[in-house]
């Protein structure tokens, strides 16, 4: 884990293409998953050369085809969540 005062320490940046958000002052969640608050809640983001959305359940970017409409959790994780609730 890089320390702020060590030589060669990297400033954590958002994974979204073109985003230069410095995450060093962001909440722990955003630093941990390398995504700024804006892109964690955005409907569409270009990441890894694809149009994607950040999944709140997986804490990863997925292609838009894995989401229903404006949902922020992918279909697979929502199905898992609902299955556990029905038990």
| Residue 61 included in any domain | yes
Residues in Cβ contact with 83 at an 8 Å cutoff, skipping those fewer than 6 apart: none
How much is the pTM?
A: 0.82
pLDDT on residue 5 = 55
Q: Which domain does 52 fall in, by range?
A: 23-86
CA distance 43 to 35: 14
Q: Could you report the per-residue pLDDT of 26-76, keeping only the tens digit for each?
A: 999 999 999 999 999 999 999 989 999 999 999 999 999 999 999 999 999
| Residue 38 included in any domain | yes
CA distance 87 to 42: 32
| Residue 43 included in any domain | yes
Residue 61: closest CA among 69, 73, 70: 73
| Residue 8 included in any domain | no
CA distance 26 to 32: 10
- Say yes or no to pLDDT of 11 above 90: no
CATH number of the structural domain spanning residue 73: 4.10.1100.10
pLDDT on residue 1 = 47
């Amino acid at each position: 884990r890089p320390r702020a005062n060590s030589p060669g320490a990297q400033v954590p940046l958002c994974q979204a293409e073109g985003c230069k958000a410095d995450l060093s002052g962001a909440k722990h969640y955003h630093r941990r998953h390398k995504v700024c608050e804006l892109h964690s809640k955005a409907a569409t983001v270009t990441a890894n050369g694809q149009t994607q959305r950040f999944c709140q359940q997986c804490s990863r970017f997925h292609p838009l085809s894995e989401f229903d409409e404006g949902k922020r959790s992918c279909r697979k994780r929502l199905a898992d969540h609902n299955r556990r609730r029905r038990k």
